[in-house]
Structure 1
Amino acid sequence: MQIFREKKELSRAIDLKKKEGKSLGLVPTMGALHEGHLSLVKKALQETDLVVVSIFVNPTQFDNHDDLEKYPRDLQKDLDLLKSIDENIWIFVPSAEDLYGEEITSEHFEFDGLEKVMEGAFRKGHFDGVGTVVKKLFETVKPDKAFFGQKDYQQLQIIRKLTEKAALPVEIVGCPIQRESNGLARSSRNERLNDQSREKAAFIYETLQKAKDLFGTKDADYVIEWVEKQFQNHSFLNLEYFEIADANTLKKINRKQKGNQYRAFIAVYAGDIRLIDNIALN
C-alpha cells in the first residue's frame, strides 16, 4: 500500500502507470470508511488495474462549521480497512493547502438546476464545494473510472453533469446503497449515533419502503403528505424534507408520466446528526 500526501508526487507515480497501459479507478472519500465505501473499492478493483482512494474532508462543501469540526476522522482505522481488502491500493491523503493552493475556496458551477433542489436548497454552496473538489481530484488522479455510491444520489447526478460540461474523460460508475442490518443507509455520520439512536433511525428506511408501496397506487402529493405525518408523530427524528423527483432531472414530480423513473429523497435530523437517504420508486 502506498500513501501519497502531495498531488505532485501522486501525479508523477500515476503518469508512470499510465505509460504502462494500466487503467485507473478513483474512489473519492472523506474518510471514516465503512462497508459502503469498501463496496466501492471492491467494485473499482474488479473494473480497473489500479485503484486510488482519496481521503480528504473537504472544507468547502460544509455550510456548517460545527458539522465540519464534528465530522468523524480516524485515518489509521481507514488505512487498516483498505489494507484488509488489497495491499496494492494507493491512498491519497492531501492537505487542503496542497489540493486547493493558497486560496481554499469553491469554484462556482451551473449544473442545469440539479444543484438548486433538495440538498442544494438546504445547504448553501454545498455543490460548488463538491464540484470543486471532485474536479481537482479528477485533474490530479486522471482516472478512467470514478466510483460513487447512490446514497448521495443527487451528488452522483451532479458529478455526471460536471464531467459532461467540463468534458472530463472519466466514466462515472454509480453503485448501490449499502445498508446496515436494520435498513439504515451506511454513512460516516452513523458513527456519531449511539446504539439507541441508530435503531430509531431505522424508521427512515422503513418509511421510504412504505412510501414506495404507496406510490404504486397513490399520487405524489398523497405520498408526500403521508410521509410528513409519519415524522410529525415521531418523538426523536425531525424531517427536514421529503421529495419525489424525476430520477434524471431531479425536478419535482407534478404527475406521473409513463416511462419516467422516479425517486424519493429524504433528509432527517436524529438529534443534531443529519441523515439522508433515497429510494427508487419504479
Structure 2
Amino acid sequence: MTGPIVARTRAELQAARGTSTVALVPTMGALHDGHVQLLKHARPLAETLVASIFVNPTQFAPGEDFEDYPRTFEADLQRCAEAGVDVVFAPAVETMYPSGLVDTITVDPGPLGTILEGATRPTHFRGVLTVVSKLFGLVRPDVAVFGEKDYQQLTLISQMSRELALGVEIVGCPTVREADGLAMSSRNRYLTDEQRSTAAVLSAGLRAGVAAAADGPDAVLAAAHAVIDPADVDLDYLVLTDPELGPAVAGAEARLLVAARVGKPRLLDNIGLTLGKS
C-alpha cells in the first residue's frame, strides 16, 4: 500500500495538491476510527483527498493540554493510507503563523462563538476559525469535512465559509461512537476504566432525550437530566437548541448538546432529534 505524500511547507503542499478537485479533512492528529470515517466520507467527494495534521496552539487556553495533547504522527500516516488520503499536510507552527502567535490576524467568531463552548473557553473558536481559514487559503479545497461531534465548531465553520464567501462547501459527518455509546475523541485515552464507564452516561442521557422528543422540549431536557447526574460528572451544560444553535422550537428539528468533565478530559456530545408539539 502506497502511503500519502507528506507536505510540510507551503511550497510542498502546492506541488502535491495539483490542479484537481480537493477535499480537505482538518485534524490535530492522534487519529482514531472517528477520523477514519471522516476521511472515508470525504474520499469520494473530490479527486484529491488532503488531511491536515496540526496541533493548533491558538485554540488552547493557558492551562489546557496543548503540551500533553497526543502526537502520534507515524500511526496517523498509516491510518491516512488505509483511508485513501493522497496528501498529508503537516506544517510547523511557523508555517501556519509566519507573523507569530501574538501578531497574527484572527477571525472573530461573532455572537455564536460566545455561547456553550465559547462561554467556557472564550478564546477557543477564534483560534479554530483562524486556523481553518488559513488551511482553506493554503489547501484551496472545494469541500471540507468536519465531524458532528463538535457541533458548535461545525456550525461556526459553515457560517464562516458562507459569510466570508470562502467558496468551500462544508460537509458534516455523523458522530462515530464506541460500543458503549461514548463519542470517539482523541482525549478519551485520558480516561481510566472507571471514568470511561461513567462517561457513557452522556450518550445515554442524549438517547433518553431523543426517546422523549414526542412530548416536547421540556420532556427532552427532563429525560436527559434524569440520566446525566451532576454527582457523577462535572456537568458544564446540557441544552436543547434548534439546528443553528438558536432557541428550540416545538414541532421542529432540534439539537441536544452536552459538555462535561470526567476526570481529566472535557467531553462533548450531541444528537439531532425532532420535537413534538406538546
- TM-score, length of structure 1 as denominator length: 0.89
Residue 8 of structure 2 is matched in structure 1 by 5
1:93 offset after TM fit, Å?
A: 0.6
State the SS of the aligned residue for 2:66.
helix
- Contact map agreement 2:208 2:223 (CA 8 A) in 1: no
- Contact map agreement 1:111 1:161 (CA 8 A) in 2: no
Residue 246 of structure 2 is matched in structure 1 by 251
How do 1:129-168 residues align onto structure 2 when only pairs under 5 Å count? 129-168=127-166
1:267 offset after TM fit, Å?
A: 0.3
Residue 275 of structure 1 is matched in structure 2 by 267
Residue 254 of structure 2 is matched in structure 1 by 262
- Contact map agreement 1:245 1:252 (CA 8 A) in 2: yes
1:223 offset after TM fit, Å?
A: 3.9
1:122 maps onto 2:120 in alignment: yes
- Contact map agreement 2:260 2:268 (CA 8 A) in 1: yes
| CA–CA separation in structure 2 for the residues paired with 1:164 and 1:33 | 28
| CA–CA separation in structure 2 for the residues paired with 1:74 and 1:120 | 28
**How much is the aligned-residue C-alpha RMSD, in angstroms?**
1.9
1:213 offset after TM fit, Å?
A: 1.7
How many pairs are equivalent?
Answer: 270
State the SS of the aligned residue for 1:147.
strand
- Contact map agreement 1:63 1:123 (CA 8 A) in 2: yes
Deviating more after overlay: 103-112 vs 45-54: 103-112
| CA–CA separation in structure 2 for the residues paired with 1:155 and 1:43 | 18
Q: Residue 183 of structure 1 is aligned with which of 181, 184, 202?
A: 181
Could you tell me which amino acid in structure 1 is paired with residue 238 of structure 2?
F
| CA–CA separation in structure 1 for the residues paired with 2:139 and 2:200 | 37
Q: Residue 206 of structure 1 is aligned with which of 204, 207, 211?
A: 204
| CA–CA separation in structure 1 for the residues paired with 2:159 and 2:118 | 15
1:45 offset after TM fit, Å?
A: 1.3
1:89 offset after TM fit, Å?
A: 2.0
Residue 239 of structure 1 is matched in structure 2 by 235
Q: Residue 193 of structure 2 is aligned with which of 189, 192, 195?
A: 195
1:174 offset after TM fit, Å?
A: 0.7
Could you tell me which amino acid in structure 2 is paired with residue 240 of structure 1?
D
Residue 84 of structure 1 is matched in structure 2 by 82
1:176 offset after TM fit, Å?
A: 0.7
- Contact map agreement 1:228 1:239 (CA 8 A) in 2: no
Task: Report sequence identity in percent.
Answer: 39
1:226 offset after TM fit, Å?
A: 5.1
C-alpha change, 1:168 and 1:217, in structure 2 (3 Å) is same
State the SS of the aligned residue for 2:167.
coil
Residue 29 of structure 1 is matched in structure 2 by 27
Unaligned runs of 5+ in 1: none
State the SS of the aligned residue for 1:173.
strand
- 1:132-173 deviation digits (Å, cap 9, x = unpaired): 000000000000110101001111110111111211111111
Could you tell me which amino acid in structure 1 is paired with residue 9 of structure 2?
E
- Contact map agreement 1:72 1:191 (CA 8 A) in 2: no
| CA–CA separation in structure 2 for the residues paired with 1:277 and 1:63 | 21
| CA–CA separation in structure 2 for the residues paired with 1:201 and 1:46 | 34
Determine which structure has the larger helix proportion and give its number.
1
1:108 offset after TM fit, Å?
A: 4.4
| CA–CA separation in structure 2 for the residues paired with 1:59 and 1:203 | 31
| CA–CA separation in structure 2 for the residues paired with 1:169 and 1:219 | 36
Residue 45 of structure 2 is matched in structure 1 by 47
- 1:19-56 deviation digits (Å, cap 9, x = unpaired): xxx21110000001011111111111112111110000
1:217 offset after TM fit, Å?
A: 0.9
- 1:194-214 deviation digits (Å, cap 9, x = unpaired): 333222211110011001222
| CA–CA separation in structure 2 for the residues paired with 1:95 and 1:233 | 40
State the SS of the aligned residue for 2:246.
coil
